[in-house]
Structure 1
Amino acid sequence: MAPTALLTYRLLRSRAQQIGDRVNQLRPISYSIIGDLFTGFAELKLAGKQQRFRDRLVDNQTEVMELEAQGYVYSLLPVRIIEMVAIIGVLTIFLYAVFIPSSSGNLIALVGLFAAAAYRLMPSINRMLTSLVQIKQSQFTIENLAAYREDKYKEEPHPEQLPLAFTQNIVFNQLAFTFPGEARPTLQDISLTIKKGEKIGFVGSSGSGKTTLMNILLRFYTEQEGNILIDGQPLTPKNLSGWHRLIGYVKQDTFLMEASIADNISLGDTEVDAERMRYAIEQASLAGFVNSLPNGLATHIGERGSKLSGGQRQRVGIARALYKRTEVLVLDEATSALDSETEREVSEAIRKLATTDMTILIIAHRITTLRECDRIYELSEGKIVAQHTYENLLQKAI
């Protein structure tokens, strides 16, 4: 039974892994098509392309179902093979007794011994074989998890957290970063110094490394080379919690809960600090809007802020960072999805922040968003290729 189990596993493992890898490739395609069908409903319907997308989805899912059926068959084969071997074993004993009469006296004992052993062994062997085949079928998951489990791609808080103060500058010291499995670095040799209270802009084409650089500053990623210094102190897991208390983040699609304005700004604090809330709302240019509401801060904003305009959603995100008493604020394409009037509302909030000692880092495609910046860095292919002022960048664009 042992050689049979080994041979069965060797025969099934390669095919099981191929099925798993192929299903892993196909499933994201199905999810993508379904998302396109919902988000692009109007455009696809008007263009008469819904049927084409539907056919692509059906074809993709048909292959997925066929592969999953094959995988299910492969998971059942070990059980049947081991049972078949056990039956062949019993038949072999009978044949042995028939052709060699001298052993017939021990036939009952032999059959009983073999049956007892097979009865005890078969369930365990079947479970082990089935599990091994299923593991090979899901090998892609293990490989993906292993690729991102290495310490150089993540940074967890150290059990003993040290305090961190920011009073002077942030230094990016020859940073380099490469995503797992990629040959070309996403960032290389990034060196710059940002003084406390400065407003710094970052521009560049998509894929130039702007957002990756901010993600490293936020410690969502960890650089492979170089380091970031806060007042001369390197950012490490030992001061990660202290750094996260100092830095805030507002992205293009602001995270909003189906709750009140106050809950969204405080992120669900049970006891809201009224003075911090007032300051955050005032600085984010939300005071007039909140005062116009019958329920004020207690007004519910709907699912993902459906009752708010785009500018109001972004300003709630800015107010959230201010309520947290952020000293460093990262604005990642905060106005790129807004119309001109709404962008003006958000830009007003940013201009109001420019009068404070908060350090603001702005990633933007729209040059007008960078009006208040002291310096603007241009990135290309993971490198800083130029430094601009707002005026010369505007002239260059014109």
Structure 2
Amino acid sequence: MSDTFAGYVELKLAHKLQLFRQRINANQRLLQNVDAKGYVYGLLPPRTIEMVSILAVVTIILYALLVTRDTTTLVTIVGLFAAAAYKLMPSVNRILASMVSMKQHLYTLEALKAYEEPQWREHMIKQEPAIRFQQRVEFDNITFAFPGSDKPVLRNISFTINKGEKIGFIGSSGSGKTTLMNLLLRFYTQQSGEIRVDGVPLRLENTEAWHQLVGYVKQDTFLMQASLRDNITLGESDPDPQRLQYALEQASLADFVESLPQGLDTVSGERGARLSGGQRQRIGVARAMYKQTQILVMDEATSALDTQTEKEVTEAINKLSATDITILIIAHRITTLRQCDRIYELKDGQIVAVHTYEDLIAKHV
């Protein structure tokens, strides 16, 4: 159904709406059948218990009549059994209904176990108050595979990033670029190897402190239907005006904000609908600058932009290049990597080459 709404224009022009309606109806019939079966299976345990109880009473009566022939004992046994069944049946029915419900939702626990991340235990582990980044970040023989997969996405990745460097990453889709950054951001945990910051391995104990040093700008910047100020500070109740102004200047947004009648109080619209693509990306950069980020990860931040808009974002990146912020850029467009000191090329989860910007330009011309 969401595909039908999201692709309405294309489907309408291709005369495919009827096909998608049929698919919706087919899925709806399937869902109704599943719901009907679930309803029936939910009724079976109580009915089964009632039937077993009735059969037990009949069996007791037949046994007493045919074997003991003692009516006094018969009345006593049947009465005791009926009283016990009357008291126990509701509890037994609830237990069986709960077991059926647990069986229906067991897949959820299996999925949670398969994709369990260690970060959920951070609040249980004593966090180190700070982590220092003054020299380098080292990737030492990093290997990573997704849960349930035997094929590693990254294999024996090793390289070093010095503080203040601008590093680029290129490679075809699926080569492992974003996965590598997710490991650095600690959204994933490698199966083997270590990521060290000034010689200190990144572990659960220092994850929160590490997150305070890292900023992230992705292809589709997260924006709330709120003011520009709230989007940059992520709803901070008492933002620092000096840090906010610095963030705007570093992201090349100061002139744009000053041109708005309401300035930072301007509402961005739903998912930034009132902003251009370049403005949305630069708000992501400003957000990282307000956080006083020391490492900025830009994951294909310009790949969905046109040439003119890309220049706006590149201007912000160039301005950051004059600072001591370490910038890691994943890009398909080589022009985005102009300021990079080194450019790593990934293929099939491995680093296959290290380039300079001039080398890449000469290679593709």
Separation (CA, whole Å) in 2 of partners of 1:231 and 1:277: 29
- The answer for the alignment partner of 1:14 in structure 2 is none
Are the counterparts in 2 of residues 199 and 375 from structure 1 also a CA contact under 8 Å?
yes
Greater shift, 88-97 or 259-268, is seen at 88-97
- Return the letter of the residue paired with 2:284: G
Identity across the alignment (%): 60
Unpaired segments ≥5 residues, structure 1:
1-33
What is the CA RMSD across the aligned residues, in angstroms? 1.5
Match of 1:201 among 130, 146, 168: 168
Are the counterparts in 1 of residues 127 and 208 from structure 2 also a CA contact under 8 Å?
no
Note if 1:48 corresponds to 2:15: yes
Separation (CA, whole Å) in 2 of partners of 1:98 and 1:233: 83
Separation (CA, whole Å) in 2 of partners of 1:109 and 1:154: 58
Match of 1:156 among 119, 122, 131: 122
Match of 2:148 among 181, 185, 188: 181
- The answer for the alignment partner of 1:88 in structure 2 is 55
The structural deviation recorded for 1:35 is 2.4
The structural deviation recorded for 1:182 is 0.7
- The answer for the alignment partner of 2:222 in structure 1 is 255
Unpaired segments ≥5 residues, structure 2:
none
TM alignment of 1:1-398, pairs within 5 A: 34-100=1-67, 102-149=69-116, 151=118, 156=122, 158-398=125-365
Distance 1:307 1:274, change over 3 A: same
Greater shift, 127-136 or 365-374, is seen at 127-136
Moved over 4 A (4+): none
Separation (CA, whole Å) in 1 of partners of 2:198 and 2:105: 47
The structural deviation recorded for 1:39 is 1.6
Greater shift, 63-72 or 222-231, is seen at 63-72
Separation (CA, whole Å) in 2 of partners of 1:285 and 1:362: 18
Matched length? 364
- Return the letter of the residue paired with 2:185: L
Separation (CA, whole Å) in 2 of partners of 1:155 and 1:394: 46
The structural deviation recorded for 1:188 is 1.0
Are the counterparts in 2 of residues 281 and 319 from structure 1 also a CA contact under 8 Å?
yes
Deviations 1:45-96 (A, max 9, x none): 0011111112112212211221221122112101101101111111222222
- Return the letter of the residue paired with 1:156: E
Separation (CA, whole Å) in 2 of partners of 1:313 and 1:335: 11
Separation (CA, whole Å) in 1 of partners of 2:157 and 2:272: 37
- Return the letter of the residue paired with 2:294: E
Deviations 1:260-314 (A, max 9, x none): 1111111111112111111110110101110100111111111111110110000
SS at match of 2:42: helix
Separation (CA, whole Å) in 1 of partners of 2:67 and 2:134: 95
Separation (CA, whole Å) in 1 of partners of 2:267 and 2:117: 42
Separation (CA, whole Å) in 2 of partners of 1:342 and 1:267: 24
- Return the letter of the residue paired with 1:216: L
Are the counterparts in 2 of residues 280 and 320 from structure 1 also a CA contact under 8 Å?
yes
SS at match of 1:201: strand
Separation (CA, whole Å) in 2 of partners of 1:239 and 1:199: 24
Separation (CA, whole Å) in 2 of partners of 1:150 and 1:357: 32
The structural deviation recorded for 1:165 is 0.9
Separation (CA, whole Å) in 2 of partners of 1:171 and 1:128: 54
SS at match of 2:211: helix
Greater shift, 118-127 or 212-221, is seen at 118-127
- Return the letter of the residue paired with 2:38: G
Are the counterparts in 2 of residues 155 and 220 from structure 1 also a CA contact under 8 Å?
no
- Return the letter of the residue paired with 1:362: I
- Return the letter of the residue paired with 2:346: L
Larger relative helix fraction: 1
TM-score (norm 1): 0.88
Deviations 1:123-169 (A, max 9, x none): 22222222222222222112111112364x87735323231111101
Separation (CA, whole Å) in 1 of partners of 2:21 and 2:337: 43
TM-score (norm 2): 0.96
- Return the letter of the residue paired with 1:112: G
Are the counterparts in 1 of residues 246 and 290 from structure 2 also a CA contact under 8 Å?
yes
